[in-house]
Amino acid sequence: MTFQGSLRFALRMALGAGAVVLVAVVALIDRSQRLDLLHPELVTGWVLLAAVVFLALLNVRKKLSMVPVGRASDWVAAHVVLGVVVIVIYAFHARAIWPSGYELALALLFYAVILSGLIGYLLQRMAPASLANLGYEVIWERIPAELADMRERIEASILECARETGSEVLPRLYREELAWYFRRPRFVLASLVGTGASSSWVHHRLDSVSIYLRGKEIEHATFLRECARRKVHIDRAYAIQGLLKCWLLVHVPATYGFLVLVLWHLILVHVYLV
Protein backbone atom coordinates (compact mmCIF):
# COMPACT_ATOMS: atom_id res chain seq x y z
CA MET A 1 0.00 0.00 0.00
CA THR A 2 1.38 3.44 -0.92
CA PHE A 3 1.85 6.21 1.61
CA GLN A 4 -1.16 8.04 0.18
CA GLY A 5 -3.18 4.86 0.43
CA SER A 6 -2.11 4.32 4.03
CA LEU A 7 -2.98 7.89 4.86
CA ARG A 8 -6.45 7.54 3.39
CA PHE A 9 -6.98 4.25 5.19
CA ALA A 10 -5.93 5.87 8.47
CA LEU A 11 -8.27 8.76 7.75
CA ARG A 12 -11.19 6.39 7.16
CA MET A 13 -10.41 4.53 10.36
CA ALA A 14 -10.21 7.80 12.29
CA LEU A 15 -13.53 8.80 10.78
CA GLY A 16 -15.17 5.58 11.93
CA ALA A 17 -13.64 5.84 15.39
CA GLY A 18 -14.73 9.49 15.65
CA ALA A 19 -18.28 8.47 14.76
CA VAL A 20 -18.33 5.81 17.46
CA VAL A 21 -16.95 8.27 20.00
CA LEU A 22 -19.52 10.89 19.01
CA VAL A 23 -22.37 8.42 19.39
CA ALA A 24 -21.01 7.26 22.74
CA VAL A 25 -20.66 10.81 24.03
CA VAL A 26 -24.17 11.71 22.91
CA ALA A 27 -25.52 8.54 24.50
CA LEU A 28 -23.76 9.33 27.77
CA ILE A 29 -24.99 12.92 27.82
CA ASP A 30 -28.49 11.77 26.98
CA ARG A 31 -28.52 9.20 29.76
CA SER A 32 -26.92 11.52 32.25
CA GLN A 33 -29.30 14.39 31.55
CA ARG A 34 -32.30 12.12 31.49
CA LEU A 35 -31.37 10.73 34.89
CA ASP A 36 -30.88 14.27 36.15
CA LEU A 37 -34.41 15.09 34.99
CA LEU A 38 -33.02 17.66 32.58
CA HIS A 39 -33.89 17.95 28.93
CA PRO A 40 -31.32 15.96 26.89
CA GLU A 41 -33.37 16.82 23.81
CA LEU A 42 -31.72 20.22 23.85
CA VAL A 43 -28.21 18.80 23.71
CA THR A 44 -29.01 16.05 21.24
CA GLY A 45 -30.97 18.56 19.17
CA TRP A 46 -28.07 20.96 18.87
CA VAL A 47 -25.65 18.12 18.10
CA LEU A 48 -28.08 16.85 15.49
CA LEU A 49 -28.35 20.28 13.95
CA ALA A 50 -24.57 20.66 13.82
CA ALA A 51 -24.25 17.25 12.17
CA VAL A 52 -26.96 18.03 9.63
CA VAL A 53 -25.33 21.34 8.76
CA PHE A 54 -22.01 19.57 8.26
CA LEU A 55 -23.72 17.01 6.02
CA ALA A 56 -25.25 19.81 3.98
CA LEU A 57 -21.81 21.37 3.56
CA LEU A 58 -20.94 18.59 1.08
CA ASN A 59 -23.01 20.44 -1.47
CA VAL A 60 -21.02 23.60 -0.80
CA ARG A 61 -17.78 21.63 -1.07
CA LYS A 62 -18.88 20.38 -4.50
CA LYS A 63 -19.49 23.93 -5.64
CA LEU A 64 -16.17 25.18 -4.26
CA SER A 65 -13.96 22.57 -5.86
CA MET A 66 -11.19 25.13 -6.28
CA VAL A 67 -10.85 25.62 -2.50
CA PRO A 68 -8.41 23.13 -0.93
CA VAL A 69 -10.60 21.79 1.89
CA GLY A 70 -9.86 18.10 1.51
CA ARG A 71 -10.50 15.52 -1.13
CA ALA A 72 -14.04 15.11 -2.38
CA SER A 73 -13.86 11.37 -1.66
CA ASP A 74 -12.98 12.11 1.96
CA TRP A 75 -15.90 14.49 2.18
CA VAL A 76 -18.21 11.86 0.78
CA ALA A 77 -16.84 9.30 3.25
CA ALA A 78 -17.43 11.74 6.11
CA HIS A 79 -20.89 12.46 4.69
CA VAL A 80 -21.77 8.78 4.72
CA VAL A 81 -20.38 8.08 8.19
CA LEU A 82 -21.96 11.15 9.73
CA GLY A 83 -25.20 10.30 7.95
CA VAL A 84 -25.31 7.02 9.83
CA VAL A 85 -24.38 8.77 13.09
CA VAL A 86 -27.23 11.21 12.56
CA ILE A 87 -29.70 8.32 12.52
CA VAL A 88 -28.57 7.29 15.99
CA ILE A 89 -28.58 10.84 17.36
CA TYR A 90 -32.03 11.36 15.89
CA ALA A 91 -33.23 8.26 17.73
CA PHE A 92 -31.92 9.71 21.00
CA HIS A 93 -33.46 13.08 20.23
CA ALA A 94 -36.93 12.17 18.97
CA ARG A 95 -37.62 8.94 20.90
CA ALA A 96 -40.61 8.38 18.69
CA ILE A 97 -40.90 6.85 15.23
CA TRP A 98 -44.11 8.65 14.33
CA PRO A 99 -44.41 11.86 16.34
CA SER A 100 -47.51 14.00 16.09
CA GLY A 101 -48.24 17.44 14.68
CA TYR A 102 -45.75 19.22 12.48
CA GLU A 103 -43.02 17.02 13.94
CA LEU A 104 -44.49 14.19 11.90
CA ALA A 105 -43.67 16.16 8.76
CA LEU A 106 -40.20 16.78 10.18
CA ALA A 107 -39.77 13.08 10.82
CA LEU A 108 -41.05 12.13 7.37
CA LEU A 109 -38.63 14.51 5.69
CA PHE A 110 -35.81 13.17 7.85
CA TYR A 111 -36.71 9.63 6.88
CA ALA A 112 -36.88 10.65 3.21
CA VAL A 113 -33.42 12.20 3.41
CA ILE A 114 -31.93 9.28 5.28
CA LEU A 115 -33.60 6.59 3.21
CA SER A 116 -32.69 8.23 -0.10
CA GLY A 117 -29.18 8.75 1.20
CA LEU A 118 -28.81 5.11 2.15
CA ILE A 119 -30.21 4.01 -1.20
CA GLY A 120 -27.87 6.41 -2.97
CA TYR A 121 -24.92 5.08 -1.01
CA LEU A 122 -25.81 1.50 -1.88
CA LEU A 123 -26.26 2.44 -5.54
CA GLN A 124 -22.88 4.12 -5.57
CA ARG A 125 -21.34 1.00 -4.14
CA MET A 126 -23.05 -1.43 -6.51
CA ALA A 127 -23.76 0.42 -9.76
CA PRO A 128 -20.14 1.06 -10.84
CA ALA A 129 -19.45 -2.67 -10.80
CA SER A 130 -22.56 -3.31 -12.92
CA LEU A 131 -21.50 -0.63 -15.37
CA ALA A 132 -17.99 -2.01 -15.54
CA ASN A 133 -19.40 -5.46 -16.28
CA LEU A 134 -21.30 -4.11 -19.25
CA GLY A 135 -18.15 -3.95 -21.30
CA TYR A 136 -19.39 -0.80 -22.93
CA GLU A 137 -18.71 2.67 -21.59
CA VAL A 138 -21.01 5.55 -22.31
CA ILE A 139 -21.57 8.91 -20.63
CA TRP A 140 -25.19 9.35 -19.60
CA GLU A 141 -25.51 12.85 -21.09
CA ARG A 142 -24.08 11.60 -24.38
CA ILE A 143 -26.55 8.74 -24.84
CA PRO A 144 -28.86 10.81 -27.10
CA ALA A 145 -25.93 11.60 -29.37
CA GLU A 146 -24.81 7.97 -29.35
CA LEU A 147 -28.29 6.80 -30.30
CA ALA A 148 -28.60 9.47 -32.98
CA ASP A 149 -25.27 8.45 -34.45
CA MET A 150 -26.28 4.81 -34.30
CA ARG A 151 -29.56 5.53 -36.05
CA GLU A 152 -27.74 7.42 -38.80
CA ARG A 153 -25.45 4.50 -39.43
CA ILE A 154 -28.29 1.96 -39.30
CA GLU A 155 -30.40 3.98 -41.72
CA ALA A 156 -27.40 4.38 -44.03
CA SER A 157 -26.87 0.62 -43.88
CA ILE A 158 -30.57 -0.05 -44.58
CA LEU A 159 -30.53 2.29 -47.61
CA GLU A 160 -27.38 0.67 -48.89
CA CYS A 161 -28.98 -2.73 -48.45
CA ALA A 162 -32.06 -1.65 -50.38
CA ARG A 163 -29.94 -0.28 -53.20
CA GLU A 164 -27.73 -3.33 -53.43
CA THR A 165 -30.33 -6.10 -53.04
CA GLY A 166 -33.64 -4.50 -53.92
CA SER A 167 -35.14 -6.51 -51.01
CA GLU A 168 -37.63 -4.88 -48.66
CA VAL A 169 -37.16 -7.31 -45.78
CA LEU A 170 -34.68 -5.34 -43.71
CA PRO A 171 -35.99 -1.84 -44.62
CA ARG A 172 -39.52 -2.96 -43.73
CA LEU A 173 -38.37 -4.56 -40.49
CA TYR A 174 -36.52 -1.40 -39.52
CA ARG A 175 -39.33 0.94 -40.54
CA GLU A 176 -42.09 -1.02 -38.82
CA GLU A 177 -40.39 -2.28 -35.69
CA LEU A 178 -36.71 -1.53 -35.12
CA ALA A 179 -36.98 2.25 -35.64
CA TRP A 180 -39.08 2.38 -32.43
CA TYR A 181 -36.43 0.40 -30.60
CA PHE A 182 -33.49 2.55 -31.69
CA ARG A 183 -35.35 5.80 -31.21
CA ARG A 184 -34.49 6.06 -27.51
CA PRO A 185 -33.56 3.82 -24.54
CA ARG A 186 -36.19 1.11 -24.19
CA PHE A 187 -36.99 -1.51 -21.57
CA VAL A 188 -35.50 0.73 -18.84
CA LEU A 189 -36.92 -1.16 -15.88
CA ALA A 190 -36.07 -4.55 -17.41
CA SER A 191 -32.57 -3.32 -18.16
CA LEU A 192 -32.21 -2.15 -14.58
CA VAL A 193 -33.26 -5.48 -13.19
CA GLY A 194 -31.22 -7.30 -15.86
CA THR A 195 -33.96 -9.50 -17.29
CA GLY A 196 -32.61 -9.31 -20.86
CA ALA A 197 -35.98 -8.21 -22.24
CA SER A 198 -34.36 -5.60 -24.45
CA SER A 199 -32.01 -8.12 -26.01
CA SER A 200 -34.75 -10.72 -26.42
CA TRP A 201 -37.08 -8.26 -28.07
CA VAL A 202 -34.67 -7.02 -30.72
CA HIS A 203 -33.07 -10.37 -31.47
CA HIS A 204 -36.44 -12.03 -31.74
CA ARG A 205 -37.32 -9.50 -34.47
CA LEU A 206 -34.07 -10.03 -36.29
CA ASP A 207 -34.34 -13.81 -36.00
CA SER A 208 -37.87 -13.75 -37.39
CA VAL A 209 -36.64 -12.38 -40.71
CA SER A 210 -33.30 -14.15 -40.90
CA ILE A 211 -34.63 -16.99 -43.10
CA TYR A 212 -35.66 -14.45 -45.74
CA LEU A 213 -32.25 -12.85 -46.00
CA ARG A 214 -29.85 -13.55 -48.83
CA GLY A 215 -26.31 -12.49 -49.73
CA LYS A 216 -25.59 -8.85 -48.85
CA GLU A 217 -28.71 -8.72 -46.75
CA ILE A 218 -27.07 -11.04 -44.24
CA GLU A 219 -24.09 -8.69 -43.90
CA HIS A 220 -26.40 -5.75 -43.22
CA ALA A 221 -28.41 -7.88 -40.80
CA THR A 222 -25.18 -8.71 -38.98
CA PHE A 223 -24.49 -4.99 -38.63
CA LEU A 224 -28.00 -4.54 -37.28
CA ARG A 225 -27.33 -7.25 -34.70
CA GLU A 226 -24.10 -5.49 -33.71
CA CYS A 227 -26.06 -2.25 -33.25
CA ALA A 228 -28.73 -4.10 -31.29
CA ARG A 229 -26.09 -5.52 -28.94
CA ARG A 230 -24.70 -2.04 -28.33
CA LYS A 231 -28.23 -0.68 -27.87
CA VAL A 232 -28.84 -3.28 -25.16
CA HIS A 233 -25.72 -2.00 -23.37
CA ILE A 234 -26.84 1.60 -23.81
CA ASP A 235 -30.28 0.77 -22.42
CA ARG A 236 -28.73 -0.77 -19.33
CA ALA A 237 -26.18 2.02 -18.94
CA TYR A 238 -29.00 4.54 -19.23
CA ALA A 239 -31.07 2.78 -16.58
CA ILE A 240 -28.23 2.35 -14.09
CA GLN A 241 -26.72 5.79 -14.52
CA GLY A 242 -30.20 7.33 -14.46
CA LEU A 243 -30.78 5.69 -11.12
CA LEU A 244 -27.44 7.00 -9.87
CA LYS A 245 -28.62 10.50 -10.70
CA CYS A 246 -32.30 10.23 -9.81
CA TRP A 247 -31.92 9.37 -6.11
CA LEU A 248 -30.56 12.87 -5.67
CA LEU A 249 -33.88 14.21 -6.96
CA VAL A 250 -35.30 13.01 -3.63
CA HIS A 251 -32.30 13.43 -1.37
CA VAL A 252 -31.44 17.05 -2.11
CA PRO A 253 -34.96 18.58 -2.22
CA ALA A 254 -35.95 16.67 0.91
CA THR A 255 -32.84 18.03 2.61
CA TYR A 256 -33.83 21.60 1.82
CA GLY A 257 -37.34 21.04 3.12
CA PHE A 258 -35.95 19.32 6.18
CA LEU A 259 -33.57 22.19 6.97
CA VAL A 260 -36.38 24.73 6.76
CA LEU A 261 -38.55 22.67 9.07
CA VAL A 262 -35.60 22.17 11.43
CA LEU A 263 -35.25 25.95 11.66
CA TRP A 264 -38.94 26.25 12.46
CA HIS A 265 -38.63 23.50 15.04
CA LEU A 266 -35.71 25.33 16.62
CA ILE A 267 -37.70 28.56 16.86
CA LEU A 268 -40.73 26.83 18.39
CA VAL A 269 -38.61 25.01 20.95
CA HIS A 270 -37.06 28.26 22.11
CA VAL A 271 -40.34 30.16 22.13
CA TYR A 272 -42.44 27.56 23.91
CA LEU A 273 -40.14 25.32 25.91
CA VAL A 274 -36.77 26.74 26.77
Partner 1 sequence: MTRLDSPSERFRFDRSTYERPNKTWRCGRAAAWGKPCPLGPKGDGSCGGTTACNPHFDEEHQRWECRRPNSVGGPCAEGPKPDGTCAHCQPPCVPRRTLRAIRGRLALLCLLAVLAAIGGTLTYGAGSGDDLNSLSAGPLSASHARFVGEDCASCHTGHQEGLGTWVASIFHDNDMAENCLTCHAFAGEQRTAHNFELAALPAGLPEHLSTKTDCTSCHVEHMGLDGDLTRVSDAQCSTCHTVEMESFADHVAFDPNFPSRRRTTVLFDHASHLGKHFPQAGAAAPESCLDCHIVDRAEASVPTLGFDATCASCHAGDIDDRAMTVFSVPEFSAEQFTALDHEYLGELCPSRGSPQFYQSLIAARAAVADGEEFGDFESIAFGEAIDPVTQWLIGSESDEIYDLAADDPVVDDLLWLYLDIAESGVTPLADLMDERGGGVVPGRNLIAGLSDATLRQAVCAWTSNVDVAEDPPVGGGWFVDGLALRYLPTGHADPVMRAWLDLGVAAPAIAFEEDAGIEQAVVMRDTLIDARQGPGACIECHGVSLASDVALAEDEEVDESMAVAVDWSRMDQPWSPYVGYSHGPHISLLGQGTACTFCHRLDEAAVLGEAFQTFDAMHPASSFLPIGKAQCVDCHGGGDDHQAVVVAQGQGCLLCHDYHLDSAFRHQMAEMPEKTE
**Is residue 217 a contact partner of residue 169, using CB atoms and an 8 Å limit?**
yes
132 binds partner 1 (CB under 8 A): no
Burial 23-56 (b: 16+ CB within 10 A, else e): beebbebbeebeeeeeebbebbbebbbebbeebb
Report residue 32: phi and psi, to 5°: -60, -45
Among 125, 183, 204, 214, interactor with partner 1 by CB under 8 A:
183
3-class state of residue 211 by DSSP? coil
Among 119, 219, 225, 243, interactor with partner 1 by CB under 8 A:
219
203 binds partner 1 (CB under 8 A): no
Binding residues for partner 1, rule CB under 8 A, total 58
66 binds partner 1 (CB under 8 A): no
Sort residue 184 into left (φ over 0), alpha (ψ -120 to 50) or beta.
beta
With respect to partner 1, which residue has the nearer C-beta, 210 or 241?
241
9 binds partner 1 (CB under 8 A): no
**Is residue 180 a contact partner of residue 188, using CB atoms and an 8 Å limit?**
no
Contacts of 82 (CB under 8 A, 6+ apart): 19, 51, 54, 55
Q: Which stretch binds partner 1 (CB under 8 A): 69-77, 83-91, 165-173, 221-229?
A: 221-229
With respect to partner 1, which residue has the nearer C-beta, 11 or 29?
29
Q: What SS3 string covers 10-64?
A: HHHHHHHHHHHHHHHHHHHHHHHHHHCCCCHHHHHHHHHHHHHHHHHHHHHHHHC
With respect to partner 1, which residue has the nearer C-beta, 12 or 229?
229
98 binds partner 1 (CB under 8 A): no
53 binds partner 1 (CB under 8 A): no
Q: Which stretch binds partner 1 (CB under 8 A): 10-18, 87-95, 195-203, 247-255?
A: 247-255
Residues at the contact surface with partner 1, assessed by CB under 8 A: 34-39, 100-102, 104-105, 109, 136-137, 139-142, 144-150, 152-154, 156-157, 160, 183-184, 219, 223, 226-227, 230, 245-246, 248-249, 252-257, 260-261, 264, 267-268, 270-274
